[in-house]
Structure formats: C-alpha cells, structure tokens
Amino acid sequence: GGAIDRQAFDYLATEVLDRIAPGLRDFLLRTSVLQDLDAVRCAALTGDERAGVWLDDTERLGLFASVVDTAPYTLRLHDLFRDALQHRLRLEQPAAWRELQARAAELETDALRRQAMLLGAQRHAEAAADLLRIGWELMFQGGVQTLLRRVEQFPPAFVRDSAELQEVTGVAKWHVWDAHDAER
C-alpha cells in the first residue's frame, strides 16, 4: 500500500498537475482546502466567478473527482489527488495556504473539518475557542478520543498556555476516567 500510494502521489504531483491548464490548476490548488466543491462555495472561497466552469472542466477531463451531489452540482476530489494539490499549494504558496484555510473554515459547517482548517491556518486561538464550544457535544457523541487527539495537534506551548484547551483536556480526561470507573 504505502509504496504504491507514494508512487501514485508522485505521479499526480508531477505528471498530472504540471499538465493541467494554468487557470484550472490554480483553481484546483486553491479549492483543494475544501472537502466538497460546488460553484457557490468555490466562488466564495476564491472570488473566481468561473467556478462552475472549472468544476465542469474537472469532471469532463476526468481529473480524479467524483460527483457527490447534483443539486447543487458538487464534486469531491479523490483523496490522493487532493493531498497532492494541497502539498503543492503549501510548498508554492504557504501564505495563500493559510489564508485559504481560514476562509474555508468560515464556509465549513462540519465542526471537525472547521477545526482542521483553523489549525491549518495557524489560527490557534480561534481553533481553541471553537473546540471548547463543540467539546461537550463531541464527547457525548462518543468522540472523547477524537477531542484529545485534536488537542494534540496544537503546538505544545499553546496548549500549556490556553485556558480553553486546558478546560477541554481536563473535562475530556475526566470523562474517560469516569467512563472507565463506571465500567468496573
């Protein structure tokens, strides 16, 4: 698996990305921060009024995307292709990567994806406040370990100094201990 995935990733990152028309390539790079691509969200993220045309081109050219909805017309890039696009964006345009992550977080309705985007944008204070806001709900949905893993994704010095992350961590660890004690 790993060697094949690495070969496929390298192929996508060089052979495919370098052969895409520059306008479409730029659009795909910038929108790769989104999980699902529809014209309205892509235009809101990028300011590109041609978002619908670029999405049609992506499907027409068979660029490693699947239609996940028709109303509105929505594509999802295959994971490895999206990873290759994100890798290239981070390397070529690190400031744009962070800005696009922050803008995508404003458009995102899924709490955990929004968290990942805020972390990618290095907006740690916003991400910590957001994590505190959704922490209880996540714990009661059985996501205690997910919550603890998310805290681990913050820089250690930030975790140490963040009241929000200290509260999230304390409550999550208490919840784990309490569940374990009840089980005994």
Indicate if the pLDDT at residue 179 is higher than 50.
Answer: no
Q: What is the pLDDT of residue 4?
A: 52
Residue 180 — very low, low, confident or very high, per pLDDT cuts 50/70/90? Answer: very low
Q: How far apart are CA 159 and CA 78, in angstroms?
A: 33
Residues 120-165: tens digit of each pLDDT: 999 999 999 999 999 888 888 888 999 999 999 999 999 999 999 9
Q: What is the pLDDT of residue 9?
A: 66
Residues 39-90: tens digit of each pLDDT: 999 999 999 999 999 999 999 999 899 999 999 999 999 998 898 899 889 9
Give the percent of the chain with pLDDT over 90. 66
Sheet bearing 37-38, strands edge to edge? 37-38, 73-77, 65-70
Indicate if the pLDDT at residue 184 is higher than 70.
Answer: no
Q: What is the pLDDT of residue 13?
A: 66
Q: What is the pLDDT of residue 42?
A: 98
Indicate if the pLDDT at residue 178 is higher than 60.
Answer: no
Average pLDDT, the chain: 89
Which residues, other chains included, contact 137 with Cβ-Cβ below 8 Å and sequence gap of 6+?
111
CB 55 within 8 A of CB 39: yes
Q: What is the pTM of this model?
A: 0.81
